Structure 1
Amino acid sequence: MRLLKALSKTACMALLGAAALAPAVQAQAQEPGITPTTIRIGMFGPLSGPSMAYGFDVVNAARMYFDKINREGGIHGRRIEVVVEDDRCTANDVVAAVKKLVEQDQVFLLNGGSCSAPVVAARDYVVRSGVPWVMLNASGDGALYPPQPNIFGALSISQRAVGGSTVEFATRQLSAKRIGYINHDDAYGAWNLEAARFQAAQNGAELVVESINPNISDVTAPVLKLRAAGVDAIVIATYARPAQLILKKAQELGVNKPIVIAVNAIASLKQLVENVGSREAFRNVYIQELLAAAPGSEKLAWVYDLYRQSYPDLAGKPDHPQVYMPYGIAPAMVIVRALQAAGPEPTRAKVIAAIEQLNFDSGVMAGPIAFSPTERAGQKASIYFRFDGQTMTPVPGVFASRWTYRGQ
């Protein structure tokens, strides 16, 4: 009888213990994309179409870094499993890719986005879903400001930081007091212009702004206006095609002032020179670069070596790796560090909290990768090169934007 009572008491205690543990077990089971042996990550970027140069090899770089982590033992005994979707750099395709990855593939977190305007279309859905999203190389200002609870990006740089850094360079390095600033007449252009104006005011400089349509075919008017305004330097913060037209027109019209080309204007330096058609147009040109050193330099050799090992067929082609390829490393590092910090029983909430505390030197990008509970843009610095159409000559120093979000 005593034995039965003891057994009954033990059974009750076991049931109570199981009941107490049930919510924790259930909570862990409810985390999508996590198994005892794997962590599923959803990636998306332009794998086809006219904008693929902005992201195809960026996706490849992130994947090869995850593969490297897997070879080294994974994260707390789990291998990273990647599911990839083509977003073609269009808003509709970005949203479709994100929804598929979250709803059908049941990924634990997202790592994607190479084109700034299209990624904004996925912001509201991602916030509602609660899935952590670490962007690839999109600036994504419209999804990062105001700060969203589960979205992190600008691992290459935000558009606001692009504008701030180029003006910092023009004033500090080129001693420009009057700066011609050419941007797009859309939200993308407004983002970089906001910080450019802030930086100019901070540095005691004046901006002469020409905002152009991204599809402009004749840039004579804006170039003539800047020449007439007597600017000390010109910053081109447009996409590649308008930048090529502006460089060519500036040379035709005899503009001899320094020209600073923002990183988003350069999909391929080789193509830039070919499309402009004259090395004379590059007699006084500076190129913004977001990496810590020149692409292919000794400091970044490990990235290019890893690419050749990972994609021997691609590495043998003349257009690969694409210029933005190394940009995929920093977001992959963020994800790996956050998963490591989240511990052996990761949850989305733990990963988000871990990202908010990250502050490290990637060794790949120009400035530190740093987030906070109120800052979702991870990298704000650039280096610069003098470019004569053939040779890149580094300019000493790192030039960072000082613009910060103030709840506008």
Structure 2
Amino acid sequence: MKRFRHRLASLLMASCALLSGAAMAENGVTDSTITLGMSAPFSGPNGIYGTEMRESITAYFEQINKGGGINGRKLELVSLDDGYETDRAVANTKKLIHDEKAFALLAFYGSSPTTAAMEVFSGAKVPLVGTISGAETLRNPVNRYMFNVRASYANETDAIVSQLASLGLKNIAVFYQNDGFGKSGLDGVTAALKKHGLAPSAVGTVERNSLDVAKAVEAISKVTPQAVIMVTLYKPTAEFVRQMRKHGQNPQFMTLSPVGADLLVKELGNDARGIGISQVMPYPWNDSNPLVREYRKLMTTMGKQSQSPYYGVEGYAMAKVMVEGIKRAGKDLTRDKLTTALESMGSYDLGGYRVSYSTSDHNGSRFVDLTVIGNGGKVLR
């Protein structure tokens, strides 16, 4: 009887352990798959941005899956359209985590949408790798579940202002989008100008997803600026440049990486010539950089032609960081192990482009490159 009771107790303990293990299985992870979630604009005026990122991410995941996946698990991407609207991005984040059971998130878009969504994914302890935003709200204080891949807007605006100041320009105005993206850029420009004993000579705004730039043009034209730094996306940027030139204003126009250089050229045509753009990814039109070379080869193999290569490269970089983090997290995959693996990554070379993470720094990169649009719409370094 004693022996029987001992065996029965052992069997019960083993059963409880099995049930406990099953109950603790991580959402989005099975023996054969890992589900990842993405929220970005795939429609509307900014839909091309999300589409470009998704194409490069999907292509890279296909490559990984053809090679056997990660520890035998295939990567699956669930992507939801938020139209670059904050409320939709928050709703998508909840849906990805609770309904789609995404293990982790990547490649979000926009400062205000991602900042609002951060409350959701960090509350659920679900890591997000990469977003098209350099806002300080996503960097300071450090959020354990937000891993940036690109440089900050402070890094970009500092490089732009330093370039303009080196040319002796002092009358510098700012045109910005009236949301988290634009305000973060305005703060960066203001701080960078202050280093040179300067301040914005005029300021104008445009609402998100709007082309109503008339008031901004009026306010900025009054000071006849030598340069205007534009913290806006490609459609309002193009409209602002057109309207400024109609008012006889021809300052040095500068803008930040989210604008999408090739999309701006497509929108403005020859009128884009001379506009300067800061970039946070390596130059994508030659193979001198290993990350770019890999990306171009992959897209060619997949029969895809990018409309906005900078966004394509950035999506590819985000996907590579995610894959490396999952590999380092090991076969017994949990969200906490992925988060710890990313924080333990230190300085990691994606191929001539480095990201760096620690428990006290999730900034990713500080790389900034200045480019200008030349004849025929060619982006020049």
**Normalization by structure 2: what TM-score?**
0.84
Counterpart code for 1:105: E
Alignment of 1:4-403 (within 5 A): 11=7, 14=10, 18=14, 25=21, 29-139=24-134, 141-153=136-148, 155-172=149-166, 174-214=167-207, 215=210, 216-218=212-214, 219-227=216-224, 231=226, 233-266=227-260, 268-274=263-269, 279=271, 282=273, 284-295=274-285, 297-299=287-289, 300-310=292-302, 312=303, 315=305, 320=307, 324-358=311-345, 359-363=347-351, 368-390=354-376, 392=378, 394-395=380-381
Structure 1 residue 178, shift from structure 2 partner: 4.6
Counterpart code for 2:172: I
**In 2 relative to 1, CA 220–142 (structure 1 residues): closer, same or farther, beyond 3 Å?**
same
- Aligned with 1:369: secondary structure? strand
CA distance, structure 1, for counterparts of residue 324 and residue 10 of structure 2: 38
Q: Which deviates further from its counterpart, 339-348 or 255-264? A: 255-264
Unaligned runs of 5+ in 1: 396-408
CA distance, structure 2, for counterparts of residue 16 and residue 187 of structure 1: 55
CA distance, structure 1, for counterparts of residue 135 and residue 217 of structure 2: 30
Counterpart code for 1:236: M
**In 2 relative to 1, CA 203–373 (structure 1 residues): closer, same or farther, beyond 3 Å?**
farther
Query: Sequence identity, in percent?
Result: 23
CA distance, structure 2, for counterparts of residue 289 and residue 304 of structure 1: 18
* Deviation by residue 1:111-170 (Cα, 9 ceiling, x = unmatched): 2422332233322222222211223434465444433232223x2344444333322333
* Deviation by residue 1:190-241 (Cα, 9 ceiling, x = unmatched): 21122222223335544334131234332432332341xx64x332222223
* Alignment length (residue pairs): 373
Instruction: Name 1:401's counterpart in structure 2.
Output: none
Q: Is the Cα contact below 8 Å between 2:111 and 2:133 reproduced in 1?
A: yes
CA distance, structure 1, for counterparts of residue 16 and residue 74 of structure 2: 30
CA distance, structure 2, for counterparts of residue 202 and residue 15 of structure 1: 71
Structure 1 residue 185, shift from structure 2 partner: 3.8
Q: Is the Cα contact below 8 Å between 1:46 and 1:86 reproduced in 2?
A: yes
RMSD over aligned Cα, in angstroms? 3.2
Q: Is the Cα contact below 8 Å between 1:55 and 1:137 reproduced in 2?
A: no
- Aligned with 1:236: secondary structure? strand
Q: Which deviates further from its counterpart, 245-254 or 377-386? A: 245-254
Counterpart code for 2:162: E
CA distance, structure 1, for counterparts of residue 136 and residue 15 of structure 2: 46
**In 2 relative to 1, CA 272–49 (structure 1 residues): closer, same or farther, beyond 3 Å?**
closer
CA distance, structure 2, for counterparts of residue 138 and residue 53 of structure 1: 16
CA distance, structure 2, for counterparts of residue 49 and residue 246 of structure 1: 19
**Normalization by structure 1: what TM-score?**
0.79
CA distance, structure 2, for counterparts of residue 43 and residue 220 of structure 1: 36
* Deviation by residue 1:265-311 (Cα, 9 ceiling, x = unmatched): 3460332323xxx54x73x432222221144555324313312332x
Unaligned runs of 5+ in 2: none
CA distance, structure 1, for counterparts of residue 184 and residue 229 of structure 2: 15
